[in-house]
Amino acid sequence: MSTKREYTLSELILESAENPNENDFFELEKPSLLEVNMNNQKIMAKAGSMVAYIGNIDFKREGLLSKGLGGLLKKAISGEGTKLMHAAGTGKLYLADEGKKVKIIKLQNESIFVNGNDVLALEENIKNEIKMLKSVAGMMSGGLFQVKLSGSGYIAITTHGEPILLKVTANQPVYTDPNATVAWSEFLSPKIKTNLTFGSFIGRGSGESLQMEFSGEGWVLVQPFEEVKYLEKK
């Protein structure tokens, strides 16, 4: 016989309290909540992602990732996707992005490509570069701009729901919806594949008629959600 659950204040406090034993630089406090344990350190985070902090932490609004693209980026990327803030100081910083799942990755002299809107936080020394799929520039918003993150240190990315990682091999390319593609490994160079017949049959406009084709050796991370359609509704 199962014990009846009591929704008491004590139970809420017990279930929701942060774990004081966690002290890694980047910690997953909850599935959708990143805890950054700062000791006179600096990070860069998605603008507007701070939900709380404890201690002495200062914030400074930054421009865009890869500043040099300036106006081009402002027109091409929806919402707050690539706007950053600096956070510096000592204490605990809590970051989140509209309930999206948080994934922590520790790069070790490596690179990863991430959809611009899915970057949550990165150590200050991680290099970031905006990359654009020029062949279809202007045909779709946000999903065509990716950020190359390189170096050694922590990064945190976000996904709508639990993503799936698909392996890419020389004999098995992978095709994805650009709006559902979160990240991919550094040695893959995606191309845009157009399938107008399929898009017309489905009746979805520019969605399934444009696909990203990944070939070579590596992996692609895909979420069960189409990011740009969500951004356009906001």
The domain ranges of the chain are 22-233
pLDDT of residue 11: 66
| HSE-up of residue 46 (Cα within 13 Å, Cβ side) | 26
pTM: 0.78
| HSE-up of residue 12 (Cα within 13 Å, Cβ side) | 3
Contacts of 212 (CB under 8 A, 6+ apart): 133, 175, 176, 177, 178, 181, 190, 191, 192, 193
Q: Does the pLDDT value for residue 33 go beyond 80?
A: yes
At 217, the pLDDT band (50, 70, 90 cuts) reads very high
pLDDT of residue 84: 81
pLDDT tens per residue across span 152-175: 999 999 999 999 999 999 999 999
pLDDT tens per residue across span 125-157: 999 887 776 554 444 444 467 888 999 999 999
pLDDT of residue 115: 87
Q: Does the pLDDT value for residue 24 go beyond 60?
A: yes
- The arithmetic mean of pLDDT across residues 218-234, rounded, is 71
- The arithmetic mean of pLDDT across residues 2-19, rounded, is 61
Q: Does the pLDDT value for residue 178 go beyond 90?
A: no
At 191, the pLDDT band (50, 70, 90 cuts) reads confident
pLDDT of residue 146: 81
Say which CATH architecture domain 22-233 belongs to. Answer: 4-Layer Sandwich (3.60)
pLDDT tens per residue across span 68-107: 444 434 434 434 345 788 999 999 999 999 999 999 999 9
